[in-house]
Structure 1
Amino acid sequence: MGKMVLFSAVRGTVLHEGKPVAGATIEREFEWAWKSETGRDSTTTDANGAFALPDITRKSLFGSLLPHEPLVKQSITINHAGKSYKAWVLFKRDYDENGELDGRPIVLTCRLEAEPQRRGEVFGICELS
């Protein structure tokens, strides 16, 4: 059975005007086209605005043997003080660990005052650290 990383581990910090945002809810979602599976998890920022989410993996005998184009829609939303912020939107096209950023771990700095924009293949308010 082949290990398939649908969403690599994510670490980050949430800031507002340079100050850490404690207690923000980080919601992570994925849609896996191969199995028509969706999922979500969440965490909360600590006193320093930091958060971490583990990788999301699956194992599939057929998925590792049968040819198909990997496609996983990923998103991260930050909820704080009654507002939602689109932090990360990406279509992952492989099952590699840290495949989202060509092998680099996902470490983000998210500024709530920032306008969402595209940075390479990623859209949202977060910058890669």
Structure 2
Amino acid sequence: MYEDDEHVAFLDRWPTLPGKLLVAPKAHVEHVVKDLDEGAYVRIMLVVRKVALAVERVFEGERTYLYSLGSQEGNSHLHWHIAVLPPGVPYEEQQFHVLMTENGVLDVPPGEMVDLAARIRAAVLAVE
């Protein structure tokens, strides 16, 4: 849905919310604080913001979650998750609950994923 010389954005393979996606640097980076100089940090955060604004254009939400998880044991490559919380989700099912795959993932058919990616990509191109 987005790519530049340093970053890539793509849909989550196991989404817990519609349109959940990830933004990652192309270069292998593991630590968000100590492995990025100030300029690289600002650049990736601007990409995260741009993609998040695009996702918000496609999905109505009451809150947009932005978070970076991972560890040396799994997903050591730095990445940011972007997930829009739909309106009306009960409080006890919000925040970490709605983000955990243990609580279920969406079964989105491949054709719908392709359509969704195209819609978000068009929204990314419209974000200034």
Greater strand share, 1 or 2?
Answer: 1
What's the TM-score, normalizing by structure 2? 0.27
What's the TM-score, normalizing by structure 1? 0.27
Greater helix share, 1 or 2?
Answer: 2
